Amino acid sequence: MHYFLYTHYLKKFLCTLSNYTYYSMEEVERVVLKYLMERPPDFKWVFGTQVFDKKTTIERFKKDAEFRKMIVENVIKLAVDLFTREIE
């Protein structure tokens, strides 16, 4: 019985967490996409050996989940970094 309750609440907690994470990510994704849309046509950036322009960045961001995840992770890491350095 205890085990059942434990797993039940754990699952519930994880679901809440994943929902929360999902909605937060969606929010960040929307902001990033808005930022990319507003870039000038000559927007260009280099990732290792690859060169991205505005069009390819938006396309990859919309279609490639891995790429989107990587960008969102970096946005969050920057936010955490700025926040951490501010309170130090």
Partner 1 sequence: MLKALAIYPVFDHVTEYSAKWCKKLIEHLKSKCKVVEVGGRRVKREEVEGYIKGEDPYIVIFYDHGREGAWFGSEGEHVIDLRNVSLLSGRIAYSMSCRSAKILGREAFKKKCKVFVGYVEDFVFNVKDEEIFCRAVNYGLIIWLEGEEDWINVKRKWIDYWNKLIDEADDPWTKMWLRHDRDSLRIIAEGVDEPETKCPARKTAVKLFGSAGWRISRETAVSVLFFAVGFTMAVLDVSRVLGEIIMLFSYTTLIYEYLKLILNR
**Measured from the CB of residue 71, what is the shortest distance to partner 1 in angstroms?**
8
Q: Is 58 exposed, middle or buried (0-12, 13-18, 19+ CB in 10 A)?
A: middle
Site for partner 1 in 56-85 (CB under 8 A): 74-75, 77-78, 81-82, 85
Q: Using the minimum distance from each CB to partner 1, give the nearer residue, 15 or 31.
A: 31
- Biggest distance spanned by C-alpha atoms of the chain: 63
CA dist 44 and 55 (Å) reads 10
Would you give the binding string for partner 1 spanning residues 22-41, x where CB under 8 A is met? Answer: -------------x------
